[in-house]
Amino acid sequence: MGLYGVMTTSVSGMSVQSDRMGTVADNIANVNTTGYKTASTEFATLIAQGSVAAYVPGSVSTIARRAISAQGDFTYTKSPTDLAISGDGFFMVQSSAGTPFLTRAGSFIPDANGDLINAAGFKLLGYNLLDGSSSSVINSAAGLQVVSTAGLGMKATPSTSGKFDVNLPADAAITAAGNLPSANAATAQFAGKTSIVTYDNLGHQVTLDVYSAKTANNTWEFSVYNASGASASGGFPYATGSQLTTTALTFDPSTGQLTSPTSGVLSVNIPNGATLTLDISKTTQLAAAYTPQNASANGSPPTAVDRLEISPDGTVTAVYADGSRVDAFSIPLAKVASPDNLTAISGNVFATNKSSGDLQLGLANSGGFGSVVSGALENSTVDLASELTTMVQAQRNYTANSKVFQTGTELLDVLVNLVR
């Protein structure tokens, strides 16, 4: 076995150094790959069976390792959909075939369909918060959907709340019942008129004309009309159905403060819209002219998504051009018992196996999961200087093993030539 054993052992030595060079080559090639985890080669001895007195050369084998659990440094970007994880966990992504995988490569951008896709072509998965159809399953990717901006579209916000603060002149004349704005007559008389812009469910602008008229001492009425029903000359009489509400107000004669309605609220049903709740609690009756202090309402016309914001707990919020915000998706994180034993797949993604343990999903920034960092990317964990050192070591060790093999062949040649 002697010389043949020497040659076999040296061949295995060259083989494992080749494997080591392979991991070095992979690491150096991926030094700039987002979320890449350093690979390494570990050696294990293979002992040939023999007697105690006689030594039989053995061999050596390699075991590939990946430091998948190692945290990489961050590079910060200006894109809110560039995502990194600070701490434990992986993003759930989906291949073009629909197979779920784990990854730390978070360089996501919207594709032509609005799906968030990373540089390797994997789509980010999350729970849909808009339709409520997705529910969290702790040990499975069931219920996850591709995070996409396509379903966000344009959005109109109907008016639901506002303010109407005005001072009503305490010395105004009392208006006869037939001439009150609520009578909708051409002879209508009033102390003041203020218009407020609101929006219906489709984003149409609906202008409200609010009339104030004194009906008795310390008593007033607010009459609200849809301005689109005004007469050709403007104002009264309005078209049938234009009157939206009429509310009586009373004031404390000593302070001029509003006493009724006690809720301090004026409710108006916007045509094809929501119920607008106007806060009139600061309306006063003082010895001054009719003076609007604040007349406003929320709501907006149709607007498109301006940007996405992603919070540390993985909530994806769509911010529209009008400033309104809608929580669209929740990005969960995944973890396994032994992340370093995950199976590496092309595209810088990982699959679970028996050695890694089962998948567990959870909310980011809680329950032992890391937090999502928006506008950042996790760098490769490759240390270039260390890899170059390993490369030199592998080269020298390979050369040394080749010398052993060469010496073995020379000795074998001597042995063969003895019979000549």
51-106: pLDDT as tens digits: 566 777 778 888 889 999 999 999 999 999 999 999 999 999 999 999 999 999 99
Please check the confidence at residue 133 and state whether its pLDDT lies above 80. Answer: no
Please check the confidence at residue 414 and state whether its pLDDT lies above 90. Answer: no
Strands (E), 153-282: 155-157, 161-169, 192-199, 205-216, 219-226, 243-251, 258-260, 265-269, 275-279
* Predicted local confidence at residue 405, as pLDDT: 85
Q: Can you tell me the distance from the alpha carbon of 204 to that of 201, in angstroms, rounded to the nearest whole number? A: 7
Q: Hey, what are 330's tokens? A: 């929740």
Q: Can you tell me the distance from the alpha carbon of 219 to that of 252, in angstroms, rounded to the nearest whole number? A: 10
SS3 301: strand
For residues 261-276, average pLDDT:
95
Residue 309 CB neighbours (<10 A): 15
In sequence order, the β-bridge partners of residue 225 are: 209, 243
* Predicted local confidence at residue 375, as pLDDT: 95
**Helix, strand, coil percentages for the chain (3-state, nearest 5):** 20, 40, 45
Asked if residue 136 lies in contact with residue 332, where contact means CB atoms within 8 angstroms, the answer is: yes
204-263: pLDDT as tens digits: 999 999 999 999 999 999 999 999 999 998 899 999 999 999 999 999 999 999 999 999
Q: Are strands 161-169 and 291-297 parallel, antiparallel or unpaired?
A: antiparallel
Residue 213 makes CB contacts below 8 A (sequence gap 6+) with 175, 180, 181, 182, 188, 189, 190, 191, 220, 221, 223
* Predicted local confidence at residue 149, as pLDDT: 87
* Predicted local confidence at residue 56, as pLDDT: 72
Q: How far is CA 37 from the centre of its chain?
A: 24
For residues 373-385, average pLDDT:
95
* Predicted local confidence at residue 139, as pLDDT: 66
* Predicted local confidence at residue 34, as pLDDT: 93
Confidence of residue 137 (pLDDT cuts 50, 70, 90): low
Confidence of residue 404 (pLDDT cuts 50, 70, 90): confident
For residues 257-276, average pLDDT:
95
Please check the confidence at residue 328 and state whether its pLDDT lies above 80. Answer: yes
Q: Which of 86-100, 120-134, 163-177 has the lowest mean pLDDT?
A: 120-134
Confidence of residue 419 (pLDDT cuts 50, 70, 90): low
**What does the angle CA 223 – CA 226 – CA 230 come to, to the nearest 5 degrees?**
95
Mean residue pLDDT across the chain: 91
Q: Is the dihedral of CA 395, 397, 399, 402 positive or negative?
A: negative
Nearest to 225 by CA among 260, 203, 198: 198
User: pTM to 2 decimals?
Assistant: 0.72
Count the residues in the chain: 420
Nearest to 274 by CA among 206, 320, 329: 206
Q: Can you tell me the distance from the alpha carbon of 407 to that of 341, in angstroms, rounded to the nearest whole number? A: 40
For residues 363-376, average pLDDT:
92
Confidence of residue 267 (pLDDT cuts 50, 70, 90): very high
